[in-house]
Amino acid sequence: MDAITQSLWITLVSMGLVFVSLLLLAGAMSLMTRLFREREEALAPVPSEEETEKNEKERAAAAAVAFALAGQAQSTARPLALPEPALIGAWQLGMRTRQMTQKGETSRRSK
């Protein structure tokens, strides 16, 4: 066997071992979670009727508060403040007036 073939076989075997070990670990974790979940469910106390009613009231109160806060957040929208008008000098006002007059004359001539 030459060196390239031997190195390819070593690579193939080592990659196979890695994938097999990953599958074994995934299976072990799945098995452990299933076993411990069943044990926790069996040990969990059954809530009484009073506790169930109390939990429902707490959930309803929490939902009401969340609804009120959401409504309040939407109603506090304020209109944007307009920027204050900029003060322009006399020269700039004259130039703008002249441009507007020229535009008006060209539009009258074209009609």
pLDDT of res. 53: 78
Domain assignment present for 87: no
Residue 91's pLDDT is: 87
Confidence at residue 108, expressed as pLDDT on a 0 to 100 scale: 59
47, 55 in Cβ contact below 8 A? yes
- Let me know if residue 71 belongs to a domain: no
Q: Which domain holds residue 29?
A: 11-45
Answer yes or no: is 27 within a domain.
yes
Query: Mean pLDDT per segment of 10 residues, for the chain of length 111 residues?
Result: 92 97 96 83 70 82 86 68 78 89 71 55
Burial class of residue 72, CB neighbours in 10 A (0-12, 13-18, 19+): exposed
Write down the pTM of the prediction.
Answer: 0.35
Is 84 within a domain? Answer: no
Residue 99 lies in a domain: no
pLDDT at 39: 72
- The pLDDT value recorded for residue 52 is 78
* Identity of the residue numbered 79: P
* Number of domains making up the chain: 1
